[in-house]
């Protein structure tokens, strides 16, 4: 599934419900696999920025009609070919134009943002569209070094990221602090850790979070990263919410991290078992020949970057 107005736009994400490492039989059963789309809001030849933004909204509506589970928006900066710089704004626009599909960030590049601001923004989205908002978090700046310097309020080193992640969890969790996120406190937005290496896998594992691997641009690292994540996963790493404890004291019998088993636990809750989502490039066209031709645009974009 790709953007109907811009067929070179789509990355498909697939995820298993959080029931531990799936068996060989379950991986062959498509009913156990959730499908989502990651949209970078590409600006194709002849398009304006406005055209691209509206095309993404239509793409989300088409994905919902087709039965996809989620639609995520990326974060990129200083790119004339990608209009996905204001990720949170686009999540709100897509959620407003759809009815049931989960909408989220794939992801928010946390080194670019103050955790309190992220908590307030996603707390607001959760209040407007309860049960539909998801927060993927990444360490990369989503841009070139010079632009990253202009954006960055912090470092992307692992210790700095883990500190920011813990701070964000506090702002959106069940505990009150002297500084609070309103909206945001006691919200129910599931967190996902994005990554394209073993470092991201290790952070996700130690934090007990679902792991989303970017194999659409790092396929050669997929097996090692997933092995690292599963071998080092810490169940219930954050608080007592891995088994569904809620901020209001009630319990839920499902985990956090997938549409099929979505919990109303507090934001940033840990899982009781690993959960993996994998991003892959998929080109869809009337014929294989046309699909291969469309893929050359993607190949050229990597050669030019």
CB 25 within 8 A of CB 17: no
Asked which of 24-28, 159-163, 240-244 is least confident by mean pLDDT, the reply is 240-244
Residue 59 has pLDDT above 80, yes or no: yes
- Please say whether the dihedral angle defined by the alpha carbons of residues 21, 278, 101 and 242, taken in this order, is positive or negative: positive
SS (H, E, C) 75-139: CCCCCCCECCCCHHHHHHHHHHHCCCCEEEEEEEEHHHCCHHHHHHHHHHHHHHCCCCEEEEEEC
Mean pLDDT of 195-207: 95
57: tokens are: 């909204």
pLDDT number for residue 304: 62
pLDDT tier, 7 (very low <50, low <70, confident <90, very high otherwise): very low
β-bridge mates for residue 103, sequence order: 71, 133
Residue 63 · residue 10 · CB < 8 Å: no
CB distance 204 to 273 below 8 Å = no
Q: Using an 8 Å Cβ cutoff, are 124 and 183 in contact?
A: yes
Q: Which of 72, 7, 3 is nearest to 35 (CA)?
A: 72
- Of the spans 14-23, 30-39, 82-91, 288-297, which averages the highest pLDDT? 82-91
Structure tokens at 80: 């004339």
pLDDT of the residue at 242: 36
**Does the CA dihedral 102-12-158-241 come out positive or negative?**
positive
Average pLDDT over every residue of 36-57: 95
Tell me what pLDDT residue 22 has.
Answer: 43
Predicted confidence (pLDDT) per residue in 227-272, tens digit: 999 999 999 887 544 333 333 333 333 334 444 345 546 788 889 9
How many C-beta atoms surround the C-beta of residue 296 within 10 A? 11
The C-alpha atoms of residue 28 and residue 67 are separated, in whole angstroms, by 19
Burial 212-227 (b: 16+ CB within 10 A, else e): bbbbbeeeebbeebbe
Q: Which residues pair with 267 in a beta bridge?
A: none
What is the tens place of the pLDDT at every residue in 124-152? 999 999 999 999 999 988 788 888 888 87
The answer to whether 262 and 188 are in contact (CB under 8 A) is: no
Structure-token match 């793409």, residue found:
59
């Amino acid at each position: 599934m790709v953007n109907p107005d811009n067929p070179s736009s789509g990355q498909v994400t697939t995820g298993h419900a959080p029931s531990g490492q799936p068996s060989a039989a379950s991986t062959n059963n498509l009913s156990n696999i959730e499908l989502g789309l990651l949209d970078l809001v590409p600006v194709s030849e002849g398009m304006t920025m406005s055209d691209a933004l509206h095309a993404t909204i239509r793409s989300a509506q088409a994905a919902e009609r087709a039965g996809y589970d989620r639609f995520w928006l990326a974060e990129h900066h200083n790119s004339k070919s990608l209009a996905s710089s204001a990720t949170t704004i686009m999540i709100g626009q897509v959620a407003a134009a759809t009815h049931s599909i989960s909408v989220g960030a794939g992801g928010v590049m946390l080194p670019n943002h103050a955790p309190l601001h992220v908590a307030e923004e996603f707390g607001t989205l959760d209040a407007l569209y309860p049960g539909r908002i998801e927060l993927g978090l990444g360490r990369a700046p989503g841009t070139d070094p010079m632009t990253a310097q202009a954006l960055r309020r912090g470092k992307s080193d692992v210790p700095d990221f883990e500190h920011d992640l813990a701070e964000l969890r506090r702002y959106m969790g069940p505990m009150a602090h002297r500084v609070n996120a309103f909206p945001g406190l006691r919200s129910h937005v599931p967190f996902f850790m994005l990554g394209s290496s073993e470092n991201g896998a290790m952070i996700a594992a130690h934090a007990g979070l679902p792991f989303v691997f970017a194999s659409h641009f790092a396929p050669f690292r997929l097996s090692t990263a997933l092995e690292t994540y599963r071998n080092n996963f810490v169940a219930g790493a954050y608080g007592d919410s891995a088994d569904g404890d809620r901020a209001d004291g009630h319990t839920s019998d499902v985990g956090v991290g997938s549409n099929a088993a979505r919990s109303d636990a507090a934001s940033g809750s840990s899982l009781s078992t690993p959960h993996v989502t994998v991003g892959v490039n998929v080109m869809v066209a009337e014929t294989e020949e046309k699909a291969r031709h469309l893929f050359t645009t993607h190949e050229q974009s990597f050669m030019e970057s």
